[in-house]
Amino acid sequence: MPHQCTNCGHVFEDGSKEMLSGCPDCGGNKFQYHPGEVPDEPAVDDAEQSEPPEPEGGSVTGAVGRAANRVRDAVSSGPPSTDAVSDEDEATDDGATVDTATGDDGATVDAATGEDSANATATSDDEDSANATATSDDEDAVPQSGGPTSSTADPDRAGSGAAPETEEVERADSGTDPAVDGVDTGDTATTADAADEAGVQASTADEEDGAQADARSEVVDMSSLPDRADDGRVVKEPDDSEDRPDIEDLRQELNDQFESIRIVAPGQYELNLMELYDRQEYIIALQEDGQYVIEVPDAWEAPDPTETE
Amino acid sequence: MGLFAELRDSVSRVTASLFADDSEPKRIGIYGPPNAGKTTLANRIARDWTGDAVGPESHIPHETRRARRKEDVEIKRNGKTVNIDIVDTPGVTTKVDYSEFLDHDMEKDEAVRRSREATEGVAEAMHWLREDVDGVIYVLDATEDPFTQVNTMLIGIIESRELPVLILANKTDLEDANIQRVSNAFPQHETIPLSALEGDNMDEVYEQIAKYFG
């Protein structure tokens, strides 16, 4: 997370060795480091919470989307993955139109589902916004859920990340709009109930995929981080959130393994001499804010320096 | 194709001129912890044999934050001539803290900047050690305990690279200097006492340089 290619914005995990040979996307060899990013994130979250509607939409769609997913899993306790896929396909096909078309009949049940899902994900923050989305819903739902998608459609995401993102949005649509679930279950009432059930199961259901399971085990603040990061400068793989539970431990471990210069504070550094010696590239310039410039050697091999005679 | 051949020829020409020639000066890195007197020694050697200095000296640690090179220093000893490039490197340490500069009448901003540059300097020094030196003069402050992580690690690296190394126990002009402690710490290497500041025992230093790096 903290390393970012200054050229194309590709983000690397703290301690990633991938970047040692240059950015795999663009070949760039300048990276900046965001040291405070991960620990600071809850604070950033709160700050952003009150800011523009887009991040809000992102978290709500996320929360509602997860609830919807739970509904789906709860209802179709058979093979969830294929169901989900077919769901998504349907949603992809008619997500927007279903939304607007069924706006009227969806409205009341909608609100209930929205609330439940917001509660189910156990956040006080999102409840209000979830209600807001759910009640004002159907007209808003499209632009809101559309917002994050378009804003996060970076070059990076376009390739691999686009699918999960739209999937999430579609789920959000289906979550706020039971009509889509109705296609599966044929019964909106059941869906609403199932949503409650899903809320209860929130912490135990384990048949979801990794990112969702993780998102559930976390507070929503954390799980909505990818979206927030997208709204900011940093593009992030959805899977990155898997590392978050013990990010501090992981960071420590990676630091021990890898970091050659550790910035303790501005003007305070710890140096791992062996790492500095072992690395072929070297750090040309450190900057106050934690950014640094490294030289990545490419085709040129240094002559064998052990030849002393 | 023609371009490629031309390029290849020019590369091999350069390579040949760099590495095939035995009379090419050896690149001798002056390494050691901060404030051991590396720059004072580099200046002493440069002044003695070329008349120029290498860089400014000071009592404040990390005065040298970029490796400085004095090329083609010709040292004559017992009828033998040794050509070396002297590389004065920033002091190597595992921790750099701006607050230690604050004691030297420095503003915080400047101290932070110095600390950052010093850190870059260490990275550079380590990089040079890996890539670019043919021999090492390891300078220690004889008034300080030589058994430190940095000294052990650097000497270990130098040994693993099989580079010729001379250990200089500097600051013999100071009362606390304990040369024996230094030579005990690294018994496998030649230890030469000197005062780079006063110029004491430089003859032996040059003799050993000629012997080790000639």
- What DSSP state is assigned to residue B200? B
CB-count burial class (<10 Å; 0-12, 13-18, 19+) for A187: middle
Confidence of residue A93 (pLDDT cuts 50, 70, 90): very low
Name the minimum distance, in Å, from the CA of A255 to any CA of chain B. Answer: 15
Give yes or no for residue A41 having a pLDDT over 60: no
Q: At what angle are helices A162-176 and A80-101 packed, to 10 degrees?
A: 60
pLDDT of residue B176: 93
pLDDT of residue A256: 58
Name the minimum distance, in Å, from the CA of B125 to any CA of chain A. Answer: 9
Q: Please answer whether residues B149 and B41 qualify as being in contact, where contact means their C-beta atoms are separated by less than 8 angstroms.
A: no
Q: Kindly determine whether residue B133 and residue A260, on different chains, have CB atoms separated by under 8 Å.
A: no
Longest Cα–Cα distance in chain A: 88
Average pLDDT of span A145-172: 41
Helix intervals (H) in chain A: 37-49, 53-75, 80-101, 103-120, 125-151, 155-156, 162-176, 178-185, 188-201, 210-217, 220-223, 225-231, 247-258, 273-278
CA distance B64 to B79: 34
Name the minimum distance, in Å, from the CA of A11 to any CA of chain B. Answer: 24
The answer to the question of residue B119 being in a domain is yes
Backbone angles phi, psi at A78, to 5 degrees: -70, -135
Q: Which residues of chain B have pLDDT under 70?
A: 1-23
Which one has a higher pLDDT value, A209 or B85? Answer: B85
**The most confident of A35-39, A69-73, A151-155, B94-98, by mean pLDDT:** B94-98
Give how many domains chain B has, as a whole number.
Answer: 1
Q: Kindly determine whether residue A282 and residue B97, on different chains, have CB atoms separated by under 8 Å.
A: no
Name the minimum distance, in Å, from the CA of A278 to any CA of chain B. Answer: 8
Nearest CA in chain A to B133: A305
Give the closest of A269, A276, A288 to B126, CB-based: A276
pLDDT of residue B156: 93
Q: Please answer whether residues A91 and A174 qualify as being in contact, where contact means their C-beta atoms are separated by less than 8 angstroms.
A: yes
CB of A301 within 8 Å of a chain B CB? The answer is no
Report the half-sphere exposure of A100 (CA within 13 A, side-chain side). Answer: 9
The answer to the question of residue B3 being in a domain is no
The answer to the question of residue B2 being in a domain is no
The answer to the question of residue B17 being in a domain is no
Average pLDDT of span A154-172: 42
Alpha carbon of A49 to those of A117, B53, B128: distances in Å?
18, 60, 49
Q: Which tokens belong to A299?
A: 């085709």
Q: Please answer whether residues A192 and A107 qualify as being in contact, where contact means their C-beta atoms are separated by less than 8 angstroms.
A: no
pLDDT of residue B14: 55
Give the closest of A261, A274, A282 to B153, CB-based: A274
pLDDT of residue B199: 94
Confidence of residue A34 (pLDDT cuts 50, 70, 90): confident
Alpha carbon of A164 to those of A80, A148, A168, A237, B79: distances in Å?
17, 12, 6, 10, 77
CA distance B166 to A306: 17
* Interface subset of B 99-138, CB within 8 angstroms of A: 99, 108, 111-113, 115-116, 119-120, 122-124, 126-127, 129-135
Nearest CA in chain B to A305: B131
The answer to the question of residue B6 being in a domain is no
CB-count burial class (<10 Å; 0-12, 13-18, 19+) for A295: middle
CB of B19 within 8 Å of a chain A CB? The answer is yes
Return the bridge partners of B26, or none: B84
- Report which of A193, A183, A191 is spatially closest to residue A101, judged by C-alpha positions: A183
Backbone angles phi, psi at B141, to 5 degrees: -80, 115
Q: Please answer whether residues A264 and A258 qualify as being in contact, where contact means their C-beta atoms are separated by less than 8 angstroms.
A: no
Q: Look up the domain containing B118 and give its range.
A: 24-213
Helix (H) or strand (E) holding B109: helix B108-131
The answer to the question of residue B19 being in a domain is no
Give the closest of B122, B127, B161 to A306, CB-based: B161
- Report which of B172, B214, B116, B28 is spatially closest to residue A269, judged by C-alpha positions: B116
CA distance A176 to A181: 10
Confidence of residue A263 (pLDDT cuts 50, 70, 90): confident
- What is the identity of the amino acid at A130? A
Name the minimum distance, in Å, from the CA of B33 to any CA of chain A. Answer: 12
CA-based angle A213:A170:A48, to the nearest 5?
A: 70
Measured in whole angstroms, the distance separating CA A169 from the mean position of its chain's CA atoms is: 13
CB-count burial class (<10 Å; 0-12, 13-18, 19+) for A305: middle
Q: Please answer whether residues A273 and B150 qualify as being in contact, where contact means their C-beta atoms are separated by less than 8 angstroms.
A: yes
CB of A6 within 8 Å of a chain B CB? The answer is no
> What's B85's domain CATH number?
3.40.50.300
Give yes or no for residue A102 having a pLDDT over 80: no
Longest Cα–Cα distance in chain B: 69
Alpha carbon of A139 to those of A60, A102, B67, B153: distances in Å?
15, 10, 65, 67
Give yes or no for residue A170 having a pLDDT over 50: no
CA distance B16 to B57: 37
CA distance B90 to B123: 9
pLDDT of residue B186: 93
Which one has a higher pLDDT value, A33 or A69? Answer: A33
Average pLDDT of span A11-30: 80
